Amino acid sequence: MANIAIMGFGTVGAGVAKVLEMNGASMAARLEEPLHLKYILDVRDFDQSPYADRMIKDFSIIENDPEVEVVVETIGGKGVALDFTRRCLQAGKHVVTSNKELVATHGKELLAIARARNVNYLFEASVGGGIPLLRPMYECLAANEIEEIIGILNGTTNYILTRMVQDEIAFSTALQEAQGMGYAERDPAADVEGLDACRKICILSDLAFGREVLPDEVSTEGISGIHLKDVDIAAAAGYRIKLLGRAIRLPEGRQTAYVAPHLVREDCPLAGVDGVFNAVMLRGNAVGDVLFYGRGAGDLPTASAVLSDVMDAIAHRSKRRNLDWSQSAQMVSASELPMSWYLRGAFSAGDARAVCGPVTLLGDGAVITPPMTAAKAREAAEKLGAAAMLHVL
Ligand code: NDP
Ligand code: HSE
């Protein structure tokens, strides 16, 4: 029997207990041993909960119990979650988490502790919610050099954009709905301003390229500056607006990453990804393009990913996953990459051509420029007095 503990009994932590309850028998059959949820740590009282008998408030009970082999950290943030994770790993326990903020900022240190103690620190649920993504990337695509990753990485913002476009719901109402369903971060500005997607593209980049990229090295723009007018113009011209995270391997050991809203052509697979769903496209130098799709947030989908890591840790008790990004990345600013841009304003097609070169006209004073750097695009936008400027994929 394998004993596990959950730290943080909120949306994801409670989802983990629920999936364990639902599917514990089949999981035990696959593992050839039962999983036993021994403790649940939370600051709140759960007197009426069916789990009341195993609720605790003192972390040291988990830390000092040698029977607990795997600890699930679903508290979130970099505060106690960091301290508890360090101490669990130091105590020789595997730790499984959905906490992307912690993995993106302290993953290097925590993986080093795990390596020293010969245990696993696993975080499948930290990117893409329930989508099997990280393990397929580092296992099934291990024979590839990953060249590029691009994806819809945040369920809350994708849900908001979908509700606004398809159902004409106001931004604040759509955000409230996403919060009600447990999709949003504790501070939903992390979703709306792109920070959450930034943390996830850092983790993907760390794993794919084996070098540490920290969130403050990644240019990040969220969805709060998007005007409905641009959504409408884009839709009429056959585009959708999506918040994308992107990481690219560049020549000479360099790399780049950024998060920004993009116009995406309707025939691109990412354009049809709606609601809480996420999708990530990877390009490997042997396999070519691979697409991962599924629910990017929510209690049971995220718990599915958490528990797959729990099972992985138990199935390979003494065999560590070789995850490592101990060296720093050589980052190039994404603003140096030539890209096409959407510009809208009260300028004529002739003016746009004179300033940008051969533009594509979208109607309603909007154009798509030929590829140019962000600096050149900003200069052009200024000359034209553009009211909106967005990336085009
Ligand atoms: P919640 O806020 O719902 O749950 C966190 C729980 O931890 C709360 O019950 C909280 O109590 C409790 N807690 C706070 N401090 C402590 C402490 N010192 N000791 C023990 N428990 C504590 O968060 P989520 O479940 O939504 O998210 C957890 C993590 O998973 C986050 O990192 C999030 O980014 C990530 N994640 C979330 C997804 C989702 O769909 N929600 C999906 C994928 C990842 P209190 O509320 O009283 O503070
Ligand atoms: N707030 C996150 C999202 C949770 O909406 O995608 C899943 O990581």
> pLDDT tens across 93-129, in order?
999 999 999 999 999 999 999 999 999 999 999 999 9
Residue 155 near ligand 2, beta carbon < 6 Å: yes
Alpha carbons 346 and 351: distance in angstroms, whole number:
10
pLDDT value of position 317: 87
- Tokens (6 digits) for 157: 């913002």
Q: Computed over its alpha carbons, how large is the radius of gyration of the chain?
A: 22
Alpha carbons 8 and 29: distance in angstroms, whole number:
27
Among 93, 100, 200, 242, the one annotated catalytic: 200
> Which three-class secondary structure string do you get for the chain?
CEEEEEECCCHHHHHHHHHHHHHHHHHHHHHCCCEEEEEEECCCCCCCCCCHHHEECCHHHHHCCCCEEEEEECCCCCCHHHHHHHHHHHCCCEEEECCHHHHHHHHHHHHHHHHHHCCCEECHHHCCCCCCCHHHHHHHCCCCCEEEEEEECCHHHHHHHHHHHHHCCCHHHHHHHHHHCCCCCCCCHHHHCCHHHHHHHHHHHHHHHCEECCHHHCEECCCCCCCHHHHHHHHHCCEEEEEEEEEEECCCCEEEEEEEEEEEECCCHHHHCCCCEEEEEEEECCCEEEEEEEECCCHHHHHHHHHHHHHHHHHCCCCCCCCCCCEECEECCHHHCCEEEEEECCCCHHHHHHHHCCCEEEECCEEECCCECHHHHHHHHHHHCCCEEEEEC
Exposure string over 34-65, b if 16+ CB within 10 A, otherwise e: ebebbbbbbeeeeeebebeebbeeebeebbee
Residue 102 near ligand 2, beta carbon < 6 Å: no
Residue 43 near ligand 1, beta carbon < 6 Å: yes
φ, ψ dihedrals at 229, nearest 5° = -60, -40
Ligand nearest to the CA of 7: 1
Told to judge if 38 belongs to the known catalytic residues of this protein, a careful annotator would answer: no
* Contact between 10 and 78 (Cβ < 8 Å): no
The rounded Å distance from CA 7 to ligand 1 centre is 9
Residue 297 near ligand 1, beta carbon < 6 Å: yes
φ, ψ dihedrals at 354, nearest 5° = -60, -35
Ligand nearest to the CA of 79: 1
pTM of the model: 0.97
The rounded Å distance from CA 155 to ligand 2 centre is 5
pLDDT per residue rounded down to tens, the chain (393 residues) = 999 999 999 999 999 999 999 999 999 999 999 999 999 999 999 999 999 999 999 999 999 999 999 999 999 999 999 999 999 999 999 999 999 999 999 999 999 999 999 999 999 999 999 999 999 999 999 999 999 999 999 999 999 999 988 988 889 999 999 999 999 999 999 999 999 999 999 999 999 999 999 999 999 999 998 988 999 999 999 999 999 999 999 999 999 999 999 999 999 999 999 999 999 999 999 999 999 999 999 999 999 999 999 999 999 988 889 899 989 999 999 999 999 999 999 999 999 999 999 999 998 899 999 999 999 999 999 999 999 999 999
Distances (CA, A) of 80 to 3, 65, 299: 22, 19, 22
Residue 312 near ligand 2, beta carbon < 6 Å: no
Spatial neighbors of 336 by CB under 8 A, at least 6 apart, are 256, 373, 374
Alpha carbon of residue 182 to chain centroid: 16
Ligand nearest to the CA of 57: 1
Exposure string over 212-244, b if 16+ CB within 10 A, otherwise e: bbbbebbebbbbeebeeebbebbeebebbbbbb
